[in-house]
């Protein structure tokens, strides 16, 4: 079994273009040491704004004292859950791979013993440059027959229903780990133009690895869904709590069952080429409250500069 040590400590598997991952700290204090010890510093804000590229994860530390009785955030119509850190409420904000570039509001409603108030912050979303791949394939390899189309739609609804559930408990803790060591394709966000028609962007990262290599859970969680789907093949969906999900596709074998509690670094399956795959590799995806984010952005969360709220 591979080590579950966070990659920023091992120095392995790093992608230079992802070290600009942004973390938002909305309080002039240090980041709670129980969450991401040893994380490197990241990109700072521009003209008082915090910035992040499409597909990145931002760390939100709310500037309130004590422990609120209720706190709820919203960004581009998506809910942002919070949990209690050492210095106050903390949350993870995902920028979807296709969120519109520009400045958007992050609003946070806070209720405590003194009453309720709304905090408002500017978040600058910057455009990410995704690769484009042009392919010409036989029509029967691209267009689905009626039976396959019905199956695919049913599987999409199954996944959508599962990912809409938000566990109120945070299962994950500490740093996140890469599920398998291998060659990273840089496929996240890639747009495929097949026979002249644009397809949906690739919403995960592909890691080429030997057939049968062990696949590890990126952090503590619960196995919410194990599948054998048309496109994804054998796959596992892990619920890490508070709207954070990770998914592992094209497996040759699954070693967990629905409802199992798993620990960071635990083997949950083995690399395969099931589903629509041209060779053995792992498709590793992450959804954060509905936002499709680059899973590698979780491995380098860092402390940015404090912001000023508009009340």
pLDDT per residue as tens digits for the range 109-162: 999 888 888 988 899 999 998 888 887 766 766 778 889 899 999 999 999 999
Location of each CATH 2.60.40.1590 domain in the chain: 7-128
pLDDT of residue 19: 30
pTM, to two decimals: 0.80
Encode burial over 121-132: b for 16+ CB neighbours within 10 A, e otherwise.
bbbbbbebebee
* Residue 117 structure tokens: 């108030």
| pLDDT 10s digits, 228-286 | 999 899 999 999 999 999 999 999 999 999 999 999 999 999 999 998 888 999 999 99
Q: What is the CATH number of domain 132-294?
A: 2.70.70.10
Stated as kind and residue range, the H or E segment containing 9 is: helix 7-10
> Where exactly does CATH 2.70.70.10 map onto the chain?
132-294
pLDDT of residue 234: 96
Q: Which CATH number fits domain 7-128: 3.30.565.10, 2.60.40.1590, 3.40.630.10, 2.40.160.60?
A: 2.60.40.1590
b/e for 161-185, b at 16 or more Cβ within 10 A? Answer: ebbeeebeebbbeebbbbbbbbebe
pLDDT at position 182: 94
- 192 contacts 199 by C-beta, under 8 angstroms: yes
**pLDDT (tens digit, 9 = 90+) per residue, 21-42?**
333 333 322 222 233 333 322 2
């Amino acid at each position: 079994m591979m080590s579950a040590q966070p990659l920023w400590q091992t120095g392995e598997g790093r992608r230079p273009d992802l070290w600009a991952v942004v973390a938002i700290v909305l309080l002039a204090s240090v980041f709670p040491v129980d969450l991401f010890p040893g994380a490197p510093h990241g990109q700072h804000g521009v003209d008082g704004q915090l910035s992040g590229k499409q597909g990145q994860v931002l760390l939100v530390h709310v500037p309130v004292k004590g422990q609120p009785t209720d706190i709820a955030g919203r960004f581009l119509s998506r809910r942002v859950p919070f949990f209690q850190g050492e210095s106050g409420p903390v949350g993870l904000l995902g920028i979807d791979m296709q969120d519109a570039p520009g400045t958007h509001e992050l609003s946070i409603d806070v209720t405590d013993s003194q009453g309720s108030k709304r905090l408002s912050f500017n978040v600058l979303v910057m455009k990410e440059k995704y690769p484009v791949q042009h392919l010409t394939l036989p029509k029967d390899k691209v267009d689905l027959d009626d039976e396959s189309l019905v199956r695919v739609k049913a599987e999409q609804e199954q996944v959508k229903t599962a990912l809409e559930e938000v566990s109120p408990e945070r299962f994950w803790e500490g740093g996140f780990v890469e599920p398998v060591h291998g060659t990273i394709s840089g496929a996240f966000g890639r747009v495929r133009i097949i026979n002249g028609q644009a397809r949906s962007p690739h919403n995960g990262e592909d890691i080429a690895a030997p057939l049968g290599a062990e696949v590890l859970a990126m952090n503590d969680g619960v196995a919410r869904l194990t599948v054998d789907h048309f496109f994804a093949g054998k796959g596992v969906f892990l619920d890490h709590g508070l709207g954070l999900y990770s998914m592992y596709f094209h497996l040759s074998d699954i070693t967990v069952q629905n409802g199992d509690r798993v620990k960071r670094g635990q083997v949950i399956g083995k690399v395969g080429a099931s589903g629509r795959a041209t060779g053995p590799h792992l498709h590793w995806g992450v959804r954060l409250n509905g936002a499709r984010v680059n899973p590698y952005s979780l491995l380098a969360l860092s402390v940015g500069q404090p912001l000023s709220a508009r009340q």
